[in-house]
Chain A
């Protein structure tokens, strides 16, 4: 067939178009595959998720992902009533506690000088090691010379510790310097409650918060955070308002609609001034006002009138208002929302010599507006469902710790058992706890999983299992307003070469060895059996979220869910007596601030605070928590001192300069300065949590510990350490080092005001 030139060109162009079109529509040619879908990247392991509970003061229900015998990820348990599926950074880091490179591999005994890391050698198997402890317990003639120091505990372990020390006849103390004793005492006095109440933040319309960093570290920040999201932008409600009063710019202050700086120790007077306005302007129910003031009304509070005491509080002219106007406006806003107004306080407001006065005055405001045991207010928590789980070992006061330390110093303690606590580091240096136990006639046994300042002073170390390897239960405190029991199970076994033993099992075995079988607690074969027995008691109630026909089914469901609750079992308010405001007024006292004397230009109030991730230093050995930037300053891996930017410049102190900080006890520590635009000019702040002098590679030598310079001032009523009631003298040195911080790593956005990154509106 002949093809003309024209036909050839037509066919050629058509075939070219066809070829191009076919290729053009072949999309697969151009779609690159996601790497995780490539065959070599497919994961064949099957993951299992186990429910357990976290460790420490904040109880969180957790789910842990386990693949081929290794824990891979910690997440919140969606069924758990307090954290409802989310988790804190502290829980996330439990993996690093589990797989920490410096974990003790097994029992150790001291063979060299006390206090030296090199003095420890393996003490062989557990039977031999426990034999040493058993002999010490058995040979002690006067059992009063045995002292057990633990951290704060709840649930079955608290019950077991109590039973062991009582049956043996020894003594027990709980050691924690940043404690909640003043708060606990206030709750008892103002609301007659044993358990910490639940703050109904989610349904509250207005929160007046004084001192406590409830979104950062105070009490239960994850539980508070769950309420916070709803408080701000919950569906079907208007946006809540937060006014936060604080002598430092905390995370809660940073999130408040208004932050009111205040002179440390003046918080109680402010609360009573607000109470005066409520009464004087008739903003609250007259019957309640008369009940609280014994019929005197605002006359009872005349000394706290805003115009009278405004100048004493140190509140600056926020939004160009005078202090009396600020107090009046705050009081009116508080009263406006009535029963949905919440007054909460804690943290540094309680850590003064007049801490009890401050706290009583703050919490009484809830009675004034009627927000006690109402939706959006303070809701009481019930006791535990069974008495065995109601035991709560709470910290001893600083006065009690002084007396305990003196007994050790005087030779009154021959056997010291320490679990879940590091008093050599965490107690104020003036307590001289290390010196007290540094003697030849005392035998110290530590149950720490790591070498730290206290375990290094021990004669025998019997390492406990860490959280993710342990059986446990707990009663959240504060709970959600109804009965909750959490259940923890080991999600993995210890790694090969790591040979710990659960502290609960050691106590049960010691009970057996010492013939404590008259006490039914020690008829259990193990701590696991004790937990099962307590769970059996729970099962026999036949109520709550798990009801099963037999105990095995109940136990399995409890382990699967990690939690039991009963919505019907709520706190009791039938016996509530409204306390007299007059008593609190009579308590009025000024804080006794101690510190260096002399020239005042470089003297500041010292307001320490708990570190967002390391808290009081308990978590300092976890690298994720060391590397977590502080939310406000973004500093990581070290300590720092926050100074107002303008004040620091006035003293010719640049950021990163090392300054000497002379404390209330005359001792001096050094820290790097961080220029902070929101610190009050009269205040400097430092985090607790760093300053470890021995221990693992991640926590050691990372800045100072403010506990070394605080002295030991205490609240007049509870004896709790008044850690925010001192001043310090700041002196510049010639040294300077850069601060490790996240700030500045990402270059600033070159944008105009209209193209702001964090946009703000005044319309909710």
Chain B
């Protein structure tokens, strides 16, 4: 019987240094065009995973807080019911999936996403001819007029499955689909192991163990989106009360 995954991620923001390694690893893996200067100025820079920085306090008692934010792959995703063409939907592995060739670019999903993690292609992507050699053949390049976002590097999960079933001739189960052999690019790159990816249905997975930490919380929990990304709070021994100033 096929195993039923529910992919999820734990992000321990007490480990995160804000170094941006995850951001560039994601761009490299997912054929995201280079954000040029004009993209920053016109506020159209695309980062499927980004590091938000918040200030807390005043000089000299000031702190910077970093938090990686990506698609939360919500169980009750606000982006899904508003898509008129079912381009975004929830699959049976807990992933919020974007079907590029269904998308007609209404941008309703982006408007309805409280996490601001969906990006619209206002223009066709541009890559200098020689840099096209580095493009990942596993990932579609999105054209003008459609929406894109983090996929939890679904191509890596599928490759791991194909390798286990096809190349190695083994049966897919929790043992063969073990932690680490299908990590998204951001998780693979993170120097401090801030990000942990895995199967929330597998009680032995690291992601389940870490999600039980007493520091756990979900982004904008009160909205009831039920994200599959679980955060662990930053620890600050001098912190007076919970909260932040953006």
Q: B-contacting residues of A (Cβ < 8 Å)?
A: 31-32, 34-37, 41, 43, 45, 67, 70-76, 83, 85-89, 92-93, 95-96, 98-101, 103, 215-216, 221-222, 225-226, 228-229, 232-233, 239, 241, 249, 251, 254-255, 257-259, 261, 316-319, 495, 612-613, 623-625, 627-629, 631-632, 634, 636-638, 644, 646, 677-681, 738, 740-749, 751, 753-764
Task: Tell me the complex Cα distance, A679–B59, Å.
Answer: 8
- On chain B, the residues within 8 Å of A636 by CB distance are 35, 37, 40, 45
Q: Which of B35, B95, B234 contacts A627 (CB 8 A)?
A: B35
- On chain A, the residues within 8 Å of B63 by CB distance are 254
- On chain A, the residues within 8 Å of B194 by CB distance are 229
Question: Does B238 contact A319, Cβ atoms closer than 8 Å?
Answer: yes
- On chain B, the residues within 8 Å of A96 by CB distance are 131, 134
Q: A-contacting residues of B (Cβ < 8 Å)?
A: 12-15, 17-21, 23-25, 27-29, 34-37, 40-41, 43-45, 47, 50-56, 58-67, 69, 86, 89, 91-92, 95, 97, 99-102, 114, 116, 128-138, 140, 154-155, 158, 185, 188-194, 214-215, 217, 219-222, 231-240, 242-244, 246
In order of increasing CB-CB distance, the 3 nearest A-B pairs are: A225-B191, A229-B192, A740-B40
Question: Does A740 contact B239, Cβ atoms closer than 8 Å?
Answer: no
Question: Does B52 contact A738, Cβ atoms closer than 8 Å?
Answer: no
Question: Does A229 contact B15, Cβ atoms closer than 8 Å?
Answer: yes
Give A735 Cβ to nearest chain B Cβ, in Å: 16
Q: Which of A261, A748, A758 contacts B65 (CB 8 A)?
A: A758
Task: Tell me the complex Cα distance, A101–B128, Å.
Answer: 7
By beta carbon, the residue of chain B nearest A697 is B128
Could you write out 20 A-B pairs with CB less than 8 Å apart? A34-B99, A37-B158, A86-B188, A98-B133, A251-B18, A254-B64, A257-B237, A612-B19, A629-B51, A636-B37, A637-B40, A738-B41, A744-B43, A753-B242, A756-B244, A757-B244, A759-B234, A760-B56, A761-B239, A762-B235
Question: Does B43 contact A745, Cβ atoms closer than 8 Å?
Answer: yes
Task: Tell me the complex Cα distance, A681–B99, Å.
Answer: 51
- On chain B, the residues within 8 Å of A34 by CB distance are 91, 95, 97, 99, 154, 158
Q: Which of B64, B69, B100, B134 contacts A95 (CB 8 A)?
A: B134
Give A215 Cβ to nearest chain B Cβ, in Å: 5
Give A124 Cβ to nearest chain B Cβ, in Å: 23
- On chain A, the residues within 8 Å of B18 by CB distance are 251, 254-255, 631-632
Question: Does B36 contact A760, Cβ atoms closer than 8 Å?
Answer: no
The answer to whether residues A88 and B21 also contact, given A31-B92, A758-B67, A760-B242 and a CB cut-off of 8 A, is yes
Question: Does A316 contact B60, Cβ atoms closer than 8 Å?
Answer: yes
Question: Does B62 contact A226, Cβ atoms closer than 8 Å?
Answer: no
Question: Does B246 contact A93, Cβ atoms closer than 8 Å?
Answer: no
Task: Tell me the complex Cα distance, A71–B116, Å.
Answer: 32
Task: Tell me the complex Cα distance, A229–B134, Å.
Answer: 31
Question: Does B188 contact A35, Cβ atoms closer than 8 Å?
Answer: no
Question: Does A756 contact B242, Cβ atoms closer than 8 Å?
Answer: yes
Task: Tell me the complex Cα distance, A43–B156, Å.
Answer: 12
Task: Tell me the complex Cα distance, A71–B29, Å.
Answer: 12
Give A251 Cβ to nearest chain B Cβ, in Å: 6
Question: Does B50 contact A742, Cβ atoms closer than 8 Å?
Answer: yes
Task: Tell me the complex Cα distance, A93–B14, Å.
Answer: 27
By beta carbon, the residue of chain A nearest B54 is A758
Give B101 Cβ to nearest chain A Cβ, in Å: 7
- On chain B, the residues within 8 Å of A241 by CB distance are 237
Interface of A, secondary structure class, is: loop
The answer to whether residues A631 and B66 also contact, given A83-B191, A86-B191, A738-B41 and a CB cut-off of 8 A, is yes
Question: Does B192 contact A637, Cβ atoms closer than 8 Å?
Answer: no
The answer to whether residues A757 and B54 also contact, given A43-B138, A72-B136 and a CB cut-off of 8 A, is yes
Task: Tell me the complex Cα distance, A348–B50, Å.
Answer: 29
Task: Tell me the complex Cα distance, A740–B45, Å.
Answer: 10
By beta carbon, the residue of chain B nearest A318 is B60
- On chain A, the residues within 8 Å of B128 by CB distance are 101
Q: Which of A629, A632, A762 contacts B239 (CB 8 A)?
A: A762
Question: Does B19 contact A215, Cβ atoms closer than 8 Å?
Answer: yes
- On chain B, the residues within 8 Å of A92 by CB distance are 21, 24-25, 28, 189
Question: Does B20 contact A36, Cβ atoms closer than 8 Å?
Answer: no
The answer to whether residues A628 and B23 also contact, given A749-B246, A755-B221 and a CB cut-off of 8 A, is yes
The answer to whether residues A760 and B243 also contact, given A76-B189, A745-B43 and a CB cut-off of 8 A, is yes
Question: Does B53 contact A634, Cβ atoms closer than 8 Å?
Answer: yes
Question: Does B45 contact A101, Cβ atoms closer than 8 Å?
Answer: no
Question: Does B243 contact A73, Cβ atoms closer than 8 Å?
Answer: no
Q: Which of A625, A742, A764 contacts B40 (CB 8 A)?
A: A742
- On chain A, the residues within 8 Å of B138 by CB distance are 36, 43
Question: Does A637 contact B37, Cβ atoms closer than 8 Å?
Answer: yes
- On chain A, the residues within 8 Å of B189 by CB distance are 75-76, 86-87, 92
- On chain B, the residues within 8 Å of A72 by CB distance are 134-137
Task: Tell me the complex Cα distance, A558–B36, Å.
Answer: 40
- On chain A, the residues within 8 Å of B28 by CB distance are 73-74, 92, 95, 624
Task: Tell me the complex Cα distance, A71–B238, Å.
Answer: 47
Q: Which of A239, A629, A680 contacts B235 (CB 8 A)?
A: A239
Question: Does B192 contact A742, Cβ atoms closer than 8 Å?
Answer: no
The answer to whether residues A32 and B24 also contact, given A72-B134, A678-B62 and a CB cut-off of 8 A, is no
By beta carbon, the residue of chain A nearest B232 is A233
Task: Tell me the complex Cα distance, A317–B17, Å.
Answer: 25
By beta carbon, the residue of chain B nearest A226 is B191
The answer to whether residues A101 and B101 also contact, given A229-B193, A758-B52, A758-B65 and a CB cut-off of 8 A, is no
Give B170 Cβ to nearest chain A Cβ, in Å: 18
- On chain B, the residues within 8 Å of A318 by CB distance are 60-61
Question: Does B235 contact A758, Cβ atoms closer than 8 Å?
Answer: no
Task: Tell me the complex Cα distance, A679–B60, Å.
Answer: 9
Q: Which of A36, A93, A738 contacts B24 (CB 8 A)?
A: A93
Task: Tell me the complex Cα distance, A215–B21, Å.
Answer: 12
Question: Does B190 contact A35, Cβ atoms closer than 8 Å?
Answer: no
Task: Tell me the complex Cα distance, A34–B231, Å.
Answer: 27
Q: Which of B12, B51, B185 contacts A233 (CB 8 A)?
A: B12
Task: Tell me the complex Cα distance, A680–B54, Å.
Answer: 18
Q: Which of A43, A225, A316, A678 contacts B192 (CB 8 A)?
A: A225
By beta carbon, the residue of chain B nearest A646 is B59
- On chain B, the residues within 8 Å of A644 by CB distance are 59
- On chain A, the residues within 8 Å of B12 by CB distance are 233
- On chain B, the residues within 8 Å of A254 by CB distance are 17-18, 63-64, 66
Q: Which of A43, A70, A215, A627 contacts B133 (CB 8 A)?
A: A70
By beta carbon, the residue of chain B nearest A223 is B191
The answer to whether residues A753 and B243 also contact, given A632-B64, A678-B59, A759-B217 and a CB cut-off of 8 A, is yes
Give A696 Cβ to nearest chain B Cβ, in Å: 11
Give B54 Cβ to nearest chain A Cβ, in Å: 5
- On chain B, the residues within 8 Å of A233 by CB distance are 12, 14-15, 232
Question: Does B40 contact A745, Cβ atoms closer than 8 Å?
Answer: yes
Given A87-B25, A221-B191, A646-B59, 15 other A-B contacts at CB below 8 A? A34-B97, A72-B134, A72-B135, A88-B19, A101-B130, A251-B18, A257-B238, A319-B61, A742-B40, A743-B53, A744-B43, A753-B242, A757-B52, A758-B54, A764-B237
Give A630 Cβ to nearest chain B Cβ, in Å: 9
By beta carbon, the residue of chain A nearest B236 is A760
Task: Tell me the complex Cα distance, A761–B235, Å.
Answer: 5
Task: Tell me the complex Cα distance, A738–B42, Å.
Answer: 10
- On chain A, the residues within 8 Å of B116 by CB distance are 746-747
Question: Does B220 contact A751, Cβ atoms closer than 8 Å?
Answer: yes
Question: Does A761 contact B234, Cβ atoms closer than 8 Å?
Answer: yes
By beta carbon, the residue of chain A nearest B129 is A101
- On chain B, the residues within 8 Å of A228 by CB distance are 15, 17, 191-192
Question: Does A760 contact B244, Cβ atoms closer than 8 Å?
Answer: yes
By beta carbon, the residue of chain B nearest A38 is B101
Task: Tell me the complex Cα distance, A276–B27, Å.
Answer: 50
Give A399 Cβ to nearest chain B Cβ, in Å: 34
- On chain A, the residues within 8 Å of B220 by CB distance are 749, 751, 755, 757
- On chain B, the residues within 8 Å of A317 by CB distance are 60
Task: Tell me the complex Cα distance, A160–B233, Å.
Answer: 51
Question: Does A99 contact B34, Cβ atoms closer than 8 Å?
Answer: no
Task: Tell me the complex Cα distance, A255–B27, Å.
Answer: 25
